[in-house]
Structure 1
Amino acid sequence: MIGLGRIRLLIVATLLLCGTVAVPAFAQKVGPDGAPNPTASVTPQRDLLMLAPRIEGRIDIPDRKASVLIQPAGRTWDYFHEVLLHWGAAVVILGTIVLLAAAYLIMGRLRISAGRSGRTVTRFRAFERFSHWLTAVSFVVLGLTGLNITFGKIVLLPVVGPEAFSEISQAAKYAHNFTSFSFVVGLVLIIGIFFRDNLPAKVDIEWLKQGGGFIKSKHAPAGRFNPGEKAVYWLSLAAGLAVSISGFLLLFPFYETTVAEMQLAHVTHAVVAVLFIALILGHIYIGTLGMEGAFEAMGTGEVDSNWAKEHHDVWLAEQLEKGKAGYSAPAE
């Protein structure tokens, strides 16, 4: 049997051991002045900041996103919005303008090889032109007001001052939001009207083989739309749907979306919009400065017959066969 002295010694040793463990813990809960420290047992801030993907508190209201105290992903989004988007958008848009200017200086305007015949053929009907211009005007408004959101503080604010910039930006915000509806309407109309004519066809292969009309010694046959125009159509369709969906998520924030999903919607909207602007700049160039007679197609709906024969001969032959060419001579 163990002696009474040994039992006492064991008890004392146990108490001393517990004391050495408890005293530091107690010391943490008491401040230097002897007053209790209510934050002593809280997890250190450095450990909290290392948690991923976010730090949440406890709330009693149903809105769970209100409990988010710190979201590390927000710093990544802020860096994208304030740095990457500025540089990326500037490089893409200005780079596109420089390339188009170089193309014009080097190649000049693509003229009608046989010259104007004086006879015109109907290319686009009134409702088709209305759908195009509804979408085009809406896109220009959305593009300019969207660029103000990205570059306004850098470019416009130093020029007009804080008060004028505030008024311009507020008006631009409302214009951007409400014009989005007309853009979607125009996009839907264009999808329905021109979908069939932009499907791939056998003649597209021959158009590509002949260099798409950029090799003067070769003739590139094409239907109503050539592969280049079809590419613009499908890319515009994809980009239009992407900016519309992401834009409406931003227009109605947190409607079935989280903070992270809203950030993703903004990144998607901004990146696609910048690429979309670059694409449309090329489209505008071809339809105005780049090619003689192209603007008339959407301007008046009538194109010169020599232009139609040179750029869309298969389509012109089909129209003549069906009796829908609608040839007309210019008014005296």
Structure 2
Amino acid sequence: MNNWFKILAVAVLLMLGMGLGHAADANAQLGDAQMWAELKDGAVGYTTSTSEFHGQPINTYDPRLLEARGTWLAPGLMAALFGMIVVFALFIMVNGISRLHHGFSGKMVYRWSKLDVSIHWLGAIPCLLLILTGLVLLAGRFFFQPWLGEGVWAGLVYAAKQVHDVMAIPFMIGWALMTLMWAKNQLPKMYDIKWFMVVGGYINFGPFKNQHPDAGFANAGEKMWFWTFALFGLVISASGMLLLFPNLFEPSRTLSLTALILHGISAIIICAFSIVHIFMATVMSEGGMECMVSGYCDENWATQHHNLWFDEIKANGTLKYKD
């Protein structure tokens, strides 16, 4: 009898304990819900930081901004890089490259100074590294991480972040110098319309074949790339500074997230135009790459692609050949 009494007592105590436990859990959940509700409503606490935002544990923002990173920006940057490479590769397979109709003359015409060439590569090399590392940071976890081990992925992300941060400053310096020094040769002209109408003379079939539209120092396509680079380079530099030095600017979380979105959009646009620019300079235009290697271009290249500029330097006596 005593044993049954003991068992019954233990059972009653267990039931009471479970009831108290459920009550405690319910109170804890109610307290948590109340706490999170207050935080989401903008409740503030105390901190030794002097930033106006640091007293607020949670900063509410439109969740669509964060979702846009994985939904739109990551695939957008992938498409801008690899998509444009595929498009240009197919185009060259079908169309071929733009060859010099009279071949190389052997006479090299002065076009860019050594300073200009240096500034170009000061902006170009960091730009390429920023695109590749930005691809890892923005889109890597969606497209690369599933195929890599955790250790490899962690090392790749760390290296990408370090390179991205270091290359940001020389890119911004190169962008600023190119924008300020080259803008005078990039102003639109009426003959630029004809250049676009015949696609710059780079099409090797149909009514576009053997068309050589007028162009000054820069053709219409180069001008479009320049002003795109100038505008979105400004956006990517400003947003990049905000993200790179948060302790200096002390942005709110909403502003930081907005800067990240603008940074990604600008990166997609610059990436797509960069691929076009690289293909045009290295593959599509025979003799074009030499301009940014030595600063000189072949005379036949100048007359075929930049005839108005070549006529101008002949007329004003500034034509200079390489010794």
Alignment partner, residue 79 of structure 1: 67
**Matches of 1:89 and 1:58, distance apart in 2:** 38
Moved more, 110-119 or 304-313: 110-119
Verify: 1:138 aligned to 2:138, yes or no: no
**Matches of 2:236 and 2:121, distance apart in 1:** 19
Q: State the 1:74 CA deviation.
A: 5.9
Q: State the 1:143 CA deviation.
A: 1.1
Structure-1-length-normalised TM-score = 0.78
Following superposition of structure 1 onto structure 2, how do residues 53-202 of structure 1 map, counting pairs within 5 Å? 54-61=40-47, 62-73=50-61, 75-157=63-145, 161-202=149-190
> Which runs of structure 1 show a deviation greater than 6 angstroms over 4 or more consecutive aligned residues?
31-35, 37-44
- RMSD of aligned alpha carbons: 3.1
Moved more, 80-89 or 284-293: 80-89
Identity of aligned residues (%): 29
Residues 117/172 of structure 1: CA separation in 2 closer, same or farther (3 Å cut): same
1:252 to 236, 239, 245: 245
Residues 141/44 of structure 1: CA separation in 2 closer, same or farther (3 Å cut): closer
Moved more, 262-271 or 316-325: 316-325
Verify: 1:316 aligned to 2:303, yes or no: no
Structure 1 counterpart of 2:262, one-letter code: T
After superposition, what is the alpha-carbon deviation per residue over 1:150-203, rounded to whole angstroms, capped at 9, x for unaligned? 233345445553223323322221221121111111112112221100012344
Q: Which runs of 5+ in 1 are unaligned?
A: 1-30
After superposition, what is the alpha-carbon deviation per residue over 1:21-51, rounded to whole angstroms, capped at 9, x for unaligned? xxxxxxxxxx99999x9889989659949x9
After superposition, what is the alpha-carbon deviation per residue over 1:95-118, rounded to whole angstroms, capped at 9, x for unaligned? 222221221111111101122112
Alignment partner, residue 304 of structure 1: 298
Q: State the 1:64 CA deviation.
A: 4.7
Moved more, 289-298 or 63-72: 63-72
CA contact 1:55–1:68 (8 Å) conserved in 2: no
Describe the SS at the equivalent of 2:212: coil
Describe the SS at the equivalent of 1:303: strand
Structure-2-length-normalised TM-score = 0.80
**Matches of 1:138 and 1:44, distance apart in 2:** 48
Verify: 1:243 aligned to 2:236, yes or no: yes
Structure 2 counterpart of 1:57, one-letter code: A
Alignment partner, residue 27 of structure 1: none
Verify: 1:294 aligned to 2:288, yes or no: yes
